[in-house]
């Protein structure tokens, strides 16, 4: 083989190797680094972290996990996000914004620093990232909360025979997930003229507050027949209040989020319905799409909906349903 030909072959081989490396890492020699910034300490967010870790291992992405805040709120979340961005080594950050509006400026600021953003579980603005003014996040990956609220309304209505007083226990008015659940529930019960919604209370994601608020609602309206707890702390507090009031089985409880506590309560007859979201998939998909975006220039769908699953006493022990429990 002529020397010049050999040089050409070696150069070609080196270029292919370099290109390959570039494709896998996004940047030659640099591993992709994604940051998962949970919104609060709860089993739902642990599941997102679990899914993210599995995808990061599969794709060889470095996953940085920030602290799990002890309470819900932009004032707690914003400094954490800023500190993570200030590390200077993050390519993509995914988080569940604690408020539709209050998180817009900080996420935009982080995006302008060159960090891609995916919101999981909750969104900012109106959640439609396909048009301005908020089109900078790569995607919103989360449940169709409005649809879930509508379906809960129909199922609860059936459980209470289509009539009577109902009550909603929820967390905050400015959080997209729970706000949509409440809106969907209100829409769903419009179909039942004999059902009256007697109150919606906000517990700021505190189970103790939820329990106290439901206890007070039951005192004010002893004839409440149905309660919708819009997330795990709301639902756990709600059923405890009903148990304490000696109304188990009399007041039907529809709950959101499949914690082990709520699943056991369903089995024990203290809760009547549990909607399981798919947080593991949310975390997995955030890392997977981020990886594809950087390495394959993939067009990330602006909205990804992993779906949900209903647990009832009939299916709660089905082997194939167990994967939906947050554990």
Interface residues with ligand T6T (CB under 6 A) are 42, 44-45, 121-122, 175, 177-178, 231-233, 256-257, 277
- φ, ψ dihedrals at 75, nearest 5°: -65, -25
CB of 92 to ligand T6T, least distance (A): 21
Q: Please give the Cα distance from 136 to 116 (Å, whole number).
A: 8
Helix extents (H) in 39-175: 43-59, 74-86, 104-112, 145-159
Q: Please give the Cα distance from 85 to 83 (Å, whole number).
A: 5
CB of 72 to ligand T6T, least distance (A): 8
Q: Name the token pair of 4.
A: 């010049």
Contacts of residue 156, defined as CB under 8 A and 6 or more positions apart, other chains included, come to 166, 226, 228, 252, 254, 273
Q: Please give the Cα distance from 266 to 40 (Å, whole number).
A: 24
Of 212 and 247, which has the nearer Cβ to ligand T6T?
212
CB of 26 to ligand T6T, least distance (A): 30
Residue closest to 177 by CA, chosen among 113, 224, 232, 259: 232
Of 213 and 231, which has the nearer Cβ to ligand T6T?
231
Q: Please give the Cα distance from 106 to 39 (Å, whole number).
A: 14
Of 232 and 266, which has the nearer Cβ to ligand T6T?
232
Q: Please give the Cα distance from 242 to 228 (Å, whole number).
A: 12
Q: Please give the Cα distance from 213 to 143 (Å, whole number).
A: 26
Of 24 and 200, which has the nearer Cβ to ligand T6T?
200
Q: Please give the Cα distance from 44 to 46 (Å, whole number).
A: 5
CB of 322 to ligand T6T, least distance (A): 19
CB of 257 to ligand T6T, least distance (A): 5
Of 61 and 207, which has the nearer Cβ to ligand T6T?
207
CB of 194 to ligand T6T, least distance (A): 29
CB of 238 to ligand T6T, least distance (A): 13
Of 178 and 189, which has the nearer Cβ to ligand T6T?
178
CB of 40 to ligand T6T, least distance (A): 6
C-alpha distances out from residue 212 to 17, 96, 219, Å:
63, 27, 11
Of 109 and 174, which has the nearer Cβ to ligand T6T?
174
**Residue 133: is the preceding peptide bond cis (ω within 30°)?**
yes
Q: Output DSSP code: residue 326.
A: B
Of 91 and 121, which has the nearer Cβ to ligand T6T?
121
C-alpha distances out from residue 107 to 3, 80, 126, Å:
55, 12, 15
């Amino acid at each position: 083989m002529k020397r010049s030909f050999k040089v050409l072959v070696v150069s070609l081989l080196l270029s292919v190797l370099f290109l390959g490396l570039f494709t896998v890492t996004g940047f030659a020699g640099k591993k992709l680094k994604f940051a998962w910034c949970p919104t609060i300490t709860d089993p739902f967010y642990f599941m997102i972290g679990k899914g993210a870790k599995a995808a990061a291992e599969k794709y060889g992405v470095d996953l940085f996990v920030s602290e799990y805040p002890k309470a819900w709120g932009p004032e707690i979340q914003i400094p954490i996000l800023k500190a993570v961005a200030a590390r200077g080594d993050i390519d993509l950050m995914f988080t569940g914004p604690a408020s539709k509006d209050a998180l817009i400026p900080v996420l935009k600021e982080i995006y302008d620093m060159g960090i891609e953003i995916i919101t999981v579980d909750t969104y900012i603005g109106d959640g439609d990232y396909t048009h301005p003014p908020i089109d900078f996040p790569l995607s919103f990956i989360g449940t169709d909360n409005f649809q879930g609220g509508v379906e809960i309304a129909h199922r609860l209505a059936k459980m209470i025979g289509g009539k009577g007083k109902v009550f909603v226990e929820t967390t905050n008015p400015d959080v997209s997930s729970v706000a949509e659940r409440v809106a969907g529930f209100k829409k769903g019960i419009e179909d039942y003229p004999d059902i009256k919604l007697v109150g919606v209370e906000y517990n700021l994601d505190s189970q103790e507050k939820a329990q106290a608020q439901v206890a007070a609602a039951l005192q004010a309206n002893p004839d409440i027949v149905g309660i919708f707890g819009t997330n795990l702390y709301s639902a756990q507090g709600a059923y405890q209040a009903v148990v304490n009031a000696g109304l188990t089985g009399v007041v039907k409880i529809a709950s959101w989020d499949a914690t082990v506590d709520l699943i056991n309560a369903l089995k024990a007859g203290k809760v009547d319905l549990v909607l399981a979201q798919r947080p593991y998939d949310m975390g997995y998909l955030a890392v997977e799409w981020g990886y594809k975006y950087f390495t394959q220039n993939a067009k990330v769908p602006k909205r990804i909906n992993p779906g949900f699953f209903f647990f009832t006493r009939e299916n709660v022990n089905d082997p194939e349903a167990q994967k939906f429990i947050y554990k």
